[in-house]
Amino acid sequence: MKLDLDAYIARRSPIHTWETRCKLIGCMTLILAFACVQQLWLLPIMVMITVIFYSFSRLPLSFLQHRLRYPGLFLVGIVGLVPFVSGQTVLWQWHSITVYQEGVAAAVLMTTRFFSILTVALILVGTTPFLSLLQALRSLGLSPILADMTMLTYRYLYDIIANLATMRTAMQLRGSTYLLPSGQRQPWGARLRHFAALLGTLLIRSYEQSERVYKAMRLRGYGQLAAQPQTLRSPIPLSSWLALALTSAIALSLISAEFWRSFV
């Protein structure tokens, strides 16, 4: 498993140079505005905003395609059923299979919202180093406990995944497979016990490692107020403020258009 999000953070683009706190607020506002959209006529506008935003980021299209694949499959699982079960106006019928107009509209709405929100989220995390994102969140009021937990989980995740892979290999080399020597599959209970022992050992190792990590952190001054410069303190450039104002204006316009049409 490799985190490929950091692969494009060294590129130069207006989105890359956008100050992280402003970028975070701007992207989240846009995401919220996209989530508000219910009217079908707003969908092309939403897609257009997304495409322009993505082109500004200068991220390659392959990055988007790769990142859309897995959540896209999951979305198909949920949205794929909607045209057949939701709505009253029959659009097409063949034997007992019926496609409803309202269901198709709902599926299009959800898929477009999904695409736009995920793309903006990818722009945010694909153009910002993870540590800067965490510092920005901390500056915006994230609890130090949550920030520290996130940083440490991220730091040790790969070690623990590697540990788990080694332990699985070792178990298999010692003859613990899902097959009995006779070639028959092990009973469910035995398989669950094996897996419980594997995960239990992983938890114990992680727990013991955390004790060592905590002691090392304490020796380096962890918990002392003076030693926690985890927030972004640099002044925000005017261009970043302007970009934030523009993004917020776009988001507000979308929300206003949505509510205006709902009431008219």
Partner 1 sequence: MHIPDGILPAQICLGGYALTGLTTWFSLKQINRCANPLEGVPRAALLTAAFFAASLLRIPLPPASVHFVLNGMLGVVLGYYAFPAILVGLGLQAIMFGHGGLSTYGVNAVIMGIPALVAAALFRSRDRLFPAQAQTRWLTGSFAFMAGASGVGLAALVFYSLVIFNLPADLNAQAEQAALTTLLVAHVPLMLLEGAFTALLVLFLEKVKPELLNLRRNTHSL
Site for partner 1 in 174-203 (CB under 8 A): 178, 185, 188, 191-193, 195-197, 199-200, 202-203
Least distance CB 208 / partner 1 (angstroms) = 8
Q: Does 23 bind partner 1 (CB under 8 A)?
A: no
Whether 15 and 244 have beta carbons less than 8 Å apart is answered as: no
Residues between 223 and 242 that touch partner 1 (CB under 8 A): 223
Q: Under the criterion CB under 8 A, does residue 145 sit at the interface with partner 1?
A: yes
Instruction: Tell whether residue 18 is a contact of partner 1 (CB under 8 A).
Output: no
Per the rule left: phi > 0, alpha: psi between -120 and 50, beta: everything else, 179 is beta
The closest of 129, 180, 154 to 10, measured between CA atoms, is 129
Amino acid sitting at position 43: L
Q: How far is the CB of 96 from partner 1 (least distance, A)?
A: 15
Closest approach of partner 1 to the CB of residue 73, in Å: 10
Task: Give yes or no for a contact between 99 and 91, defined as CB atoms under 8 angstroms apart.
Answer: yes
**Can you read off the two tokens belonging to residue 245?**
């104002």
36 is a contact residue toward partner 1 (CB under 8 A): yes
Q: Which of 133, 12, 9, 114 lies closest to 67, judged by CA?
A: 114
Find the binder of partner 1 among 45, 47, 68, 171 (CB under 8 A): 68
| Closer residue to partner 1, CB minimum distance, 207 or 235 | 207
Q: Is 204 in the site for partner 1 (CB under 8 A)?
A: yes
Tell me whether residue 225 or residue 238 sits nearer to partner 1 (CB atom): 225
Report if residue 90 touches partner 1, rule: CB under 8 A: no
CA dihedral 228, 143, 152, 15 (to 10 degrees): -90
Q: Which is nearer to partner 1, 79 or 257 (CB)?
A: 79
Q: Is 140 in the site for partner 1 (CB under 8 A)?
A: no
Size of residue set near partner 1 by CB under 8 A: 84
Which CB sits closer to partner 1, 4 or 242?
4
Overall size of the chain counted in residues: 264
Task: Identify which of residues 150 and 230 has a Cβ nearer to partner 1 in the complex.
Answer: 150
Residues 106 and 18: their CA atoms lie apart, in Å, by 35
Should residue 105 be labelled a site residue for partner 1 when binding is judged by CB under 8 A? yes
Regarding 214 and contact with partner 1 (CB under 8 A), the answer is yes
Q: Is 72 helix (H, G, I), strand (E, B) or coil?
A: helix
φ/ψ of residue 46, rounded to 5: -60, -45
SS3 189: helix
Identify the residue among 85, 97, 225, 264 touching partner 1 (CB under 8 A): 85
Residues 86 and 102 sit within 8 Å (Cβ to Cβ)? yes
